Amino acid sequence: MIILGVESTCDETAIAVVEDGRKVLSNVVASSSAMHEKYGGIVPEVAAREQIRCIIPTIAEAILDSGVVSRDFDAIAVAYGPGLIGSLLIGVETAKSLALAWDKPLIGVNHLVGHLYANWIRQESKSRRAKEPEIKFPAIGLVVSGGHTDLVCMESHDKITFIGGTLDDAAGEVLDKVGRILGLGYPGGPAIEREANKFQYQIPNIQCHATLKGLTIPVPMVGNTSFNFSFSGLKTAVANKIQFEKGDVDVSRICYELQERIFQSLIKKTNSAVQKYGAKSVVIGGGVSANESLRNMMSAAVQENGVDIYFPQKQYSTDNGAMIAAAAFFHQNYKEVTKLQADPSLYFS
Ligand code: KG4
Ligand code: ZN
């Protein structure tokens, strides 16, 4: 089954062609993130305008790259929420037009579910004959992106239940905001990772920053038994620390501490969810899952309990069309073309 995946929920116009939910035939991403850099965050109007400019050329490029002709597509899939309404409308209405023009079925995909299904995409580096690992259910899914930090229990492809999420800022949002305060540009996540690595390399065999002197940033919500997160206090603590230290800010150390604290909170809640739901696997998705320290720390903690853990290949951690086509294959949630509407506040059901 060949599906064209359309992703336009935020500042990426991303189109991919995927066969049977796993094999990526093409994957093209046009990002307007550089245009938002000078504002230190996404400007919705600018993002929407860029979506209009990029969507047709990006679709054309993805189709050409895939070598698939229009009559051979089995369906068009589109992320219809959550996201910015202006950006969403461009992808949703374009996907509807294509479905009508080509007379193909239309599949609506929840962007958050898409992030988790990036883990079902076949590893490109693997030899063709290598057997794909089968992600076993029940699985705990963690979406860590710029807009969301959510934990779900996946009993099967058809039963995904929300079990907890951030009560305020998302993990990526805090990285972006602290990145802006520190003058590291947008998006903050990759810049903070680079700075944190500089600090880490200065200290060989560092285990945990709690062993360092003078740390003031707390791990949020660890004493709480719910599966919820809260990161806005952490952001304030870092902002205060920066203000307090005035010109004498150790940027790489602050970045390292911030990452550690956010990741410790994610690990604690994910591991508790694994225990409670008897999970056999953990799947992580969303832009923050591209972070190498998170990958290492989370893998060590989850595998210690004999549970399998999966991260997407890095190009499928951040927003992309392949994850939308992959999720559509496993959830053939067909929509009547004229009825599908962009839904900025779509969530896990
Ligand atoms: O999933 P995504 O592309 O878009 C949303 O759905 O929000 O995630 C974007 C977020 C941004 O907050 C960005 O700073 C963060 O992912 N991010 C990272 C890394 N790469 C992107 N955070 C930490 N480390 C990274 N390497
Ligand atoms: Zn996303």
Q: Are 9 and 81 in contact (CB under 8 A)?
A: yes
Counting residues of the chain whose pLDDT is more than 70, the rounded percentage is 93
pLDDT for residue 150: 98
Higher pLDDT: 202 or 267? It is 267
Atom of ligand 1 at shortest range from CA of 172: 12
Q: Is the pLDDT of residue 78 over 60?
A: yes
Please report, in angstroms and rounded to a whole number, the separation of the first and last CA atoms in the chain: 26
pLDDT for residue 245: 75
pLDDT for residue 238: 86
Distance 62 CA to ligand 2 centre (A): 19
pLDDT for residue 237: 86
Q: Are 21 and 36 in contact (CB under 8 A)?
A: no
pLDDT for residue 211: 42
How would residue 241 be classed by pLDDT, with cut points 50, 70 and 90? Answer: confident
For residue 129, the number of C-alpha atoms closer than 13 Å in the C-beta half-sphere is 0
Distance 237 CA to ligand 1 centre (A): 21
pLDDT for residue 114: 98
Q: Are 116 and 141 in contact (CB under 8 A)?
A: yes
What would the mean pLDDT of 310-331 be, rounded to a whole number? 98
Angle, helix 251-277 to helix 232-245, in steps of 10 degrees: 160
Atom of ligand 1 at shortest range from CA of 290: 26
What would the mean pLDDT of 10-32 be, rounded to a whole number? 97
Tokens 């959550």 correspond to what residue? 82
φ, ψ dihedrals at 27, nearest 5°: -155, 110
Q: Are 141 and 112 in contact (CB under 8 A)?
A: no
Ligand minimally distant from the alpha carbon of residue 33? 1
pLDDT for residue 222: 79
pLDDT for residue 300: 97
**pTM of the shown model:** 0.94
Neighbours of 178 (CB within 10 A): 24
Atom of ligand 1 at shortest range from CA of 187: 14
As given in the structure block, the two tokens for residue 126 are 């693997």
How would residue 28 be classed by pLDDT, with cut points 50, 70 and 90? Answer: very high
What would the mean pLDDT of 324-334 be, rounded to a whole number? 96
Separation between Cα atoms, residue 142 and residue 286, nearest integer Å? 8
Angle, helix 251-277 to helix 188-202, in steps of 10 degrees: 100
What would the mean pLDDT of 239-253 be, rounded to a whole number? 82
Quote the mean pLDDT of the chain: 92
pLDDT for residue 125: 65
pLDDT digits (tens, 9 = 90+) for 136-165: 999 999 999 999 999 999 999 999 999 999
pLDDT for residue 250: 87
pLDDT digits (tens, 9 = 90+) for 90-119: 999 999 999 999 999 999 999 999 999 999
What would the mean pLDDT of 228-246 be, rounded to a whole number? 87
Distance 112 CA to ligand 2 centre (A): 7
Ligand minimally distant from the alpha carbon of residue 312? 1
Counting residues of the chain whose pLDDT is more than 90, the rounded percentage is 78
28-32, 107-111, 213-217, 277-281: segment of lowest average pLDDT: 213-217
- CA angle, 88 as apex, 86 and 94 as ends, to 5°? 105
As given in the structure block, the two tokens for residue 216 are 């003031």
Within 6 A (CB) of ligand 1 lie 10, 145-147, 172, 175-176, 187-190, 193, 286-288, 290-291, 318-319
SS (H, E, C) the chain: CEEEEEECCCCEEEEEEEECCCEEEEEEEEECHHHHHHHCCCCHHHHHHHHHHHHHHHHHHHHHHHCCCHHHCCEEEEEEECCCHHHHHHHHHHHHHHHHHHCCCEEEEEHHHHHHHHHHCCCCCCCCCCCCCCCCCCEEEEEECCCCEEEEEEEECCEEEEEEEECCCCHHHHHHHHHHHCCCCCCHHHHHHHHHHHHHHHCCCCCCHHHCCCCCCCCCCCCCCCCCECCHHHHHHHHHHHHHHHHHCCHHHHHHHHHHHHHHHHHHHHHHHHHHHCCCEEEEECHHHHCHHHHHHHHHHHHCCCCEEECCCHHHCCCCHHHHHHHHHHCCCEECCCCCCCCCCCCCC
pLDDT for residue 37: 82
pLDDT digits (tens, 9 = 90+) for 188-210: 999 999 999 998 777 655 555 44
Q: What's the Cα-to-Cα distance from 170 to each of 65, 88, 142, 146, 343, rounded to whole Å?
A: 35, 20, 12, 6, 19
